[in-house]
Structures are given as C-alpha cells and as structure tokens.
C-alpha cells in the first residue's frame, strides 16, 4: 500500500482520500467506514496533537447498590453467578433487594432492623442466607436401603496439591521392583 503510514501526518481519512485520488486504492476497494465518515464527519478532527477535554465523571449510585453492599458485607458472596442462568433464576442478592424494598415500602419495620427482617422473610421462602440456621437435610426413611457414605476427600486447590513428585517416584520404584 502506497502512501504515508505515519499517524502524525494527516488523519486516516485524509491519507485514505489521498490513496483513492492517486489510484493506489481502487474505488471498489474503498473501506466500509469511509463513506460513513465522509457523510458524518466528527465534530473535532481526530488528530494525534489534539488536546483531550478533561471531563469529570459523575458518580452514579443507585439505592439498590447500597442495599447490595450491605448484603455482601453481612452475608458474603454467594459464589460465581452464571449470566446465562441469570434469566432463569435471579441472583440471591437480587431476590434480597426486592424483598428489602418491599419491606421498606410497607414502612412497618425500623431501618436498623430491615436487614434482619429481610433475611427472616427470605427464610420463609426457603432461602437461608445464614447456613447455621438452615434446617438439617432429611434422613432417609428406615424402609429404604441406606446409601453407603463415601469418603469424600477435599478437592485440591492447586495442581501441586493434587500431584506430588514423591508419589510419582514411589510408583515408578514399585514398578521396577
């Protein structure tokens, strides 16, 4: 491609225009953005030496954000949230916020007790934020055969917890003997 590639000389539009005029780029090979740029040029030409306006960003804080922060501070993170499943069932924090707002709008509960009452209201729906308050899992009935309890080893956190060099060499030594 002929022409100057140094971004300090002209803009991409002026350089492309020059290449089109000189015939280095055929009209059929014109970039897709060229006609859009030509029809709707930017207010300020995008040059390397243009000073950028300093704009102060506004803080956007919704009331739900404050409630969500209180929720995570009190109950911690529920783990990862899969966005593909989000449409099927809302996140626990979102259910908490809706219940919190409903109780707050009723106005019967003082502000300091609202978090606790929301947690209790969710427990009535079967959502236990405090695992120590959750009901125990039901025992199998006596007429059903008991399922053998398998020993569950803790899952390794890293690859080095899972594989040990001493175990590998121990196995190879046993194979040689």
pLDDT for 22 equals 95
The answer to whether position 42 is within a domain reads yes
The answer to whether position 58 is within a domain reads no
Q: Which domain holds residue 97?
A: 63-133
Statement to judge: residues 26 and 73 lie in one domain: no
List average pLDDT for each run of 10 residues in the chain, which is 177 residues long: 62 91 94 94 83 86 89 82 70 87 87 84 80 66 54 49 68 67
pLDDT for 40 equals 95
pLDDT for 31 equals 94
pLDDT for 88 equals 73
pLDDT for 38 equals 93
In a 13 Å sphere around the CA of 42, the CA atoms on its Cβ side amount to 9
Q: Which phi and psi (to 5°) does residue 144 adopt? A: -90, 145
Using an 8 Å Cβ cutoff, are 97 and 70 in contact?
Answer: no
Statement to judge: residues 73 and 107 lie in one domain: yes
Number of domain units in the chain: 2
């Amino acid at each position: 491609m002929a022409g100057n590639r140094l971004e300090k000389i002209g803009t991409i539009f002026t350089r492309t225009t020059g290449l089109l005029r000189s015939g280095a780029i055929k009209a059929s090979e014109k970039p897709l953005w060229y006609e859009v740029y030509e029809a709707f040029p930017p207010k300020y030409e995008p040059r390397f030496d243009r000073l950028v306006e300093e704009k102060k960003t506004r803080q956007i804080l919704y009331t739900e954000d404050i409630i969500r922060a209180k929720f995570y501070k009190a109950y911690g993170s529920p783990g990862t949230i899969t966005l593909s499943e989000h449409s099927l069932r809302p996140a626990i924090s979102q259910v908490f916020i809706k219940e919190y707002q409903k109780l707050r709008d009723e106005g019967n509960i003082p502000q300091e007790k609202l978090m606790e009452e929301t947690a209790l209201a969710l427990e009535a729906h079967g959502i236990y934020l405090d695992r120590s308050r959750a009901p125990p899992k039901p025992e199998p009935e006596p007429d059903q055969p008991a399922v053998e309890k398998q020993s569950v080893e803790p899952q390794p956190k890293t690859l080095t917890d899972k594989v040990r060099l001493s175990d590998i060499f121990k196995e190879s030594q046993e194979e040689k003997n």
